[in-house]
């Protein structure tokens, strides 16, 4: 269970870092730059802890799937970047894949 808590925090850190990239403005704005550096550092460090208890492929599938969706939601809220129907359908399929892995795969490590 600790692995999934670390994974959730790692995903949040990565989403903060990725969402902050747009605001860095060529390294001219220090606060977003610090968010990017610290966010990615925390995310990678936690991911190294996650793979001790969750298989790397499963951890990465969850990380990538949820990261894509959460970054898209953050971009909508912060930057008004809207998604069209095909983009939303594609993300829905990604989330569905993560759910299938969690519910039905024997590879999840739990």
Q: Within a domain: residue 67?
A: yes
Structural domain boundaries enclosing 18: 2-104
Give pTM, 2 decimals. 0.85
Tokens 């902050």 belong to residue: 20
Classify residue 88: in a domain, yes or no: yes
Tell me what pLDDT residue 49 has: 96
Q: What does the pLDDT read at residue 51? A: 95
Would 109 be classed as within a structural domain? no
pLDDT, one tens digit per residue, over 49-104 is 999 999 898 898 889 889 999 999 999 999 999 999 999 999 899 889 888 887 88
Q: How many CA atoms lie within 13 A of 89 on its CB side?
A: 3
Query: Does residue 57 form part of some domain?
Result: yes
Number of domains in the chain: 1
Integer Cα distance of 13 and 23 in angstroms = 16
The pLDDT of residue 109 is 59
- Residue 109: Cβ-neighbour burial (10 angstroms; 0-12, 13-18, 19+): middle
Give a yes or no: residue 110 inside a domain.
no
């Amino acid at each position: 269970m600790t692995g999934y808590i670390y994974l959730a925090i790692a995903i949040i850190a990565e989403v903060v870092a990725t969402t902050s990239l747009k605001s860095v403005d060529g390294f001219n704005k220090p606060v977003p730059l610090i968010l990017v550096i610290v966010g990615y550092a925390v995310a990678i460090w936690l991911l190294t802890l996650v793979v001790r208890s969750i298989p790397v492929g499963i951890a990465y599938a969850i990380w990538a799937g949820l990261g894509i969706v959460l970054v898209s939601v953050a971009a909508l809220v912060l930057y008004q970047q809207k998604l069209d129907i095909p983009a939303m359908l594609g993300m829905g399929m990604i989330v569905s894949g993560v759910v299938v892995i969690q519910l039905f795969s024997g590879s999840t490590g739990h």
